[in-house]
Structure 1
Amino acid sequence: MSSGVYLAGMGLACVLGNDMPQVLASLRRGGVPPTPVTVAEGIQWPVYTLPAQEGDWTQRLRQTVRHVAAQTGEWGERSAPLFVASSSLDIGFMEHTAQDLRLGGDLQDFAGVVAAALDWQGPVFTVSTACTSALNAVLAASDLIRGGEAGEALVIGAELDNRFTVAGFGAMQLLAPDSAQPFGAGRKGLVLGEAVAALRLRAQPSRWQLTGGANVVDGRNPSGTEASAVQAMCLGALAQSGLQPGDIDLVKVQAAGSPINDAIEVEALRQVFDPLPPLVSLKSAIGHTLGAAGAAELALLVGCIEGGAWPSTGYSLDEALGIALSEQPPRALRNILLNVVGFGGGHASLVLRDCHA
């Protein structure tokens, strides 16, 4: 028997703070600037880093995961499915280990560390599909709940510090030298961000319902956005939700600050929506958190709506794009479309409904 899927709890740690009250307070103060991260002698790139913590890489992972998961509420036996989503996984741990005997292991190693930190007793899944990882984990968890195979599930999106990822994006000339400016007139690339986010999904009704989603893979441009795939993911999510484009009141855009990809995204959205609904971008506040982005940006957006905070742009938008970013939540806000695009041609969308609207 098919069930609805609802967001029953959420947690977030990012550059803005280690929990939602801290995050919203930082946002109201204008945010936190990125920190220069050295990847090699004489080479630095800005990164929206997590607040400093004591301990080695694995200890910091465990502490952060426990703290963020606790923000979703009490779990009791912890026998529900756990989905761990990440792009970089435990590369940061490997960088600080002289001899990593786990290099002969498998993709589940990182999720195993996360599950052990939570003393999780239920089934554990790894989702690593580059930047769409966390949103695909949400879609997978939602399928289990809709199909009656689980009453609830926990999704953890995690991207922690590592030089390898930063150096790789820098080598591909994809990073901005200073700050993230999604849709900005002076945008020069993306700025990476660290984050750990937790989403508690369940069949029991609550304020926020996940009504549908879609994942579209188009590998013609492995490191870029394909307009036709953006259209397909939006229309697929709308179709599963039983909605028309005009029913969407807000779009959380991908908009990472790429000169080309930002323009392609706007072009594609115009093919789906006429006129465009209000748009919001979150990467100027927390950076591009890669595999954690789907969970981190969903949690942040819901937190902003519930907490009365909103990201400010703080830079000039590209007039050639002909768009604006919302300076506050739309007054009539019921259906929200969240978009995430990633390496390898991944394009994922999710529709979130405010059942109290």
Structure 2
Amino acid sequence: MSHGVYVAGMGLVCPLGEGVPGVVEALRLGEGAPEHVDVAEGFAWPVHRLPDAGGAWLDRLVAHVREVAAQCGGVDPRADVPLLIGSSSLDAGFEEEGGAPAGPFAGDLQTFGEAVAQALAWRGPVFTVSTACTSSLNAVLAAMDLLQAGEATQALVLGVELRNRFSVAGFGAMQLLSPQHARPFGAERDGLVLGEAVAALHLTAAPARWRLRGGANIADGRNPTGAQHDTIVAVCRQALARSGLQPADIGLVKPQAAGSPANDAVEAGALRALFGTPPPMASFKGAIGHALGASGAAELALLMGCAEAQAWPAMQEIAEPALGVAFAGDGPLHPRHILALSIGFGGGHAALVLEDGDA
């Protein structure tokens, strides 16, 4: 028997503030600007950074993780509740500060997860998911599997991506970054801009407003740094099939749309192939940056927050007409079903369908 999976609470810390309602209001007002970060002598790139509260990297990790968990309403860390953590850069910032390789991290995924779990005094099982930009969305899909199978009645999913120069330098060396700011689907888009975020989603088997209807993940290594048209269509169709829905049932799409000249065009073409005329789009990376492994969880929280407040991001860029997509505007929009996409390095393509029980 398959059990339903719902969202009981959500938390977010990102460059626009703490807490989903405040961030949604900042999005509505069109706030959000990156600052340039020096990664080496003569090399600086824009990054959407969290406010600098001072302190060591590990202290900031602990503080942010505790904050987003508290925003979820206080998840009881019982021994039977799993914690799933999605991250791409893991402890890179800690290592840059001169952290000892043997402690608190030992150079593997699980020790990072254990440090996060220790911050929450977590007693249940801990899983770390690191699949590049799809990390926290894949963590949500894994948590869904546990709840649908009846192996747990609730779970906490975290997306964690904190500042480090390694990620910025790597994307810059591959010539994937914009020198100014990201323009998702924009005619003048010239690359993505990275960002920091820590997000939390409390999933439960108990009915709530937001239900996770179904999702899918496909790894396609034909283009390790880019999106694949047919794979985007396939992963969306799988997510819809597992949700018992058709493309016509989707009223809003949250695309990857990071501002890449090539990948944005591939994604838009795949969405046209899937929908004909795609539904309105809700895009967040122009305002908060691309939070890599944390982006899936952070943008899911913002999707639900925007829908609840009926306040969609104020887009500063007009979508390129040739792409055939349009952003959600200021008017009322009550989509019952929302399709969220995440695409990452290594050929990861993930999709999830959200259902709004109040729509």
Shorter-normalised TM range = over 0.9
Q: Matched residues in 1 for 2:15 and 2:335: separation?
A: 27
Is 1:86 the counterpart of 2:101? The answer is no
Q: Matched residues in 2 for 1:265 and 1:29: separation?
A: 27
Q: Matched residues in 1 for 2:2 and 2:324: separation?
A: 41
Q: Matched residues in 2 for 1:296 and 1:200: separation?
A: 13
Aligned ranges for residues 181-260 of structure 1 at < 5 Å? 181-260=183-262
Residues 65 and 116 in structure 2, CA contact (< 8 A), matched pair in contact too? yes
The alpha carbon displacement at 1:213 in A equals 0.2
Letter in 1 for 2:239: A
The verdict on how the C-alpha distance between 1:98 and 1:304 changes in structure 2, with shifts beyond 3 A counting, is closer
What is aligned with 2:101? 100
Letter in 1 for 2:8: A
What is aligned with 1:165? 167
The alpha carbon displacement at 1:77 in A equals 4.2
The alpha carbon displacement at 1:99 in A equals 4.0
**RMSD value, Cα:** 1.3
Residues 278 and 330 in structure 1, CA contact (< 8 A), matched pair in contact too? no
TM-score between the two structures when normalised by the length of structure 1: 0.97
Within the candidate set 259, 264, 284, 1:262 is matched to 264
Q: Which runs of 5+ in 2 are unaligned?
A: none
Q: Matched residues in 2 for 1:283 and 1:98: separation?
A: 30
Residues 66 and 119 in structure 2, CA contact (< 8 A), matched pair in contact too? yes
Residues 88 and 130 in structure 2, CA contact (< 8 A), matched pair in contact too? yes
Q: Secondary structure, in 3 states, of the residue corresponding to 2:352?
A: strand
The alpha carbon displacement at 1:320 in A equals 2.0
What is aligned with 1:291? 293
Residues 46 and 193 in structure 2, CA contact (< 8 A), matched pair in contact too? yes
The verdict on how the C-alpha distance between 1:269 and 1:196 changes in structure 2, with shifts beyond 3 A counting, is same
What is aligned with 1:304? 306
Q: Matched residues in 1 for 2:214 and 2:28: separation?
A: 31
The alpha carbon displacement at 1:276 in A equals 1.4
Give a deviation string over 1:101-141, Cα, whole Å, max 9, x none: 24754211111111000000000000000000001000000
Q: Secondary structure, in 3 states, of the residue corresponding to 1:63?
A: helix
Residues 29 and 313 in structure 2, CA contact (< 8 A), matched pair in contact too? no
The verdict on how the C-alpha distance between 1:303 and 1:148 changes in structure 2, with shifts beyond 3 A counting, is same
Greater alpha carbon shift after TM alignment, 316-325 vs 38-47: 316-325
Percent pairwise identity: 59
What is aligned with 1:17? 17
Residues 131 and 340 in structure 1, CA contact (< 8 A), matched pair in contact too? yes
The alpha carbon displacement at 1:98 in A equals 5.8
The alpha carbon displacement at 1:330 in A equals 5.6
Residues 305 and 329 in structure 1, CA contact (< 8 A), matched pair in contact too? no
Q: Matched residues in 2 for 1:145 and 1:329: separation?
A: 36
The verdict on how the C-alpha distance between 1:187 and 1:345 changes in structure 2, with shifts beyond 3 A counting, is same
Q: Matched residues in 2 for 1:48 and 1:78: separation?
A: 35
Letter in 2 for 1:157: G
Is 1:71 the counterpart of 2:96? The answer is no
Q: Which runs of 5+ in 1 are unaligned?
A: none
Aligned length: 357
The alpha carbon displacement at 1:274 in A equals 2.1
Q: Matched residues in 2 for 1:9 and 1:245: separation?
A: 27
